[in-house]
Amino acid sequence: MKEMRDDIEDWMRREETTVKSVMDAVDFCTSYLDSLSDATGQISVEASVIMDRMMKDRKESLITYKSKNHFTSRFADRIPNSE
């Protein structure tokens, strides 16, 4: 439990010192998600790729960016066939 608490405190310190912009927040969250993937042995969602693409699309058109597909799921092959 102490290890988990120390890890959370470390992430909170990192946030305070590294997040200065929206993109910094995206990078910070991505790093956190990647650390959770590593800790649980799961594959990374690579959120930075998704967020970078979404932010680029948003700059191009605020109206249409939400309707675009910003990524191909890395988990699609893990979903059981429902047929």
- For the stretch 24-83, pLDDT in tens is 888 888 888 888 888 888 877 777 777 777 778 877 877 776 676 656 666 666 655 555
Q: Would residue 81 count as lying in a domain?
A: no
Q: 71 with 52: CB under 8 angstroms?
A: no
Q: Would residue 45 count as lying in a domain?
A: yes
The token duo for 56 is: 């680029």
Q: 71 with 50: CB under 8 angstroms?
A: yes
For 64, the domain range is 7-70
Nearest-5° angle of CA 49, CA 30, CA 6? 165
Q: Would residue 82 count as lying in a domain?
A: no
Q: Would residue 25 count as lying in a domain?
A: yes
Q: What is the number of structural domains in the chain?
A: 1
pLDDT at 25: 86
- Tracing tokens 């693409």 back to the chain, one arrives at 53
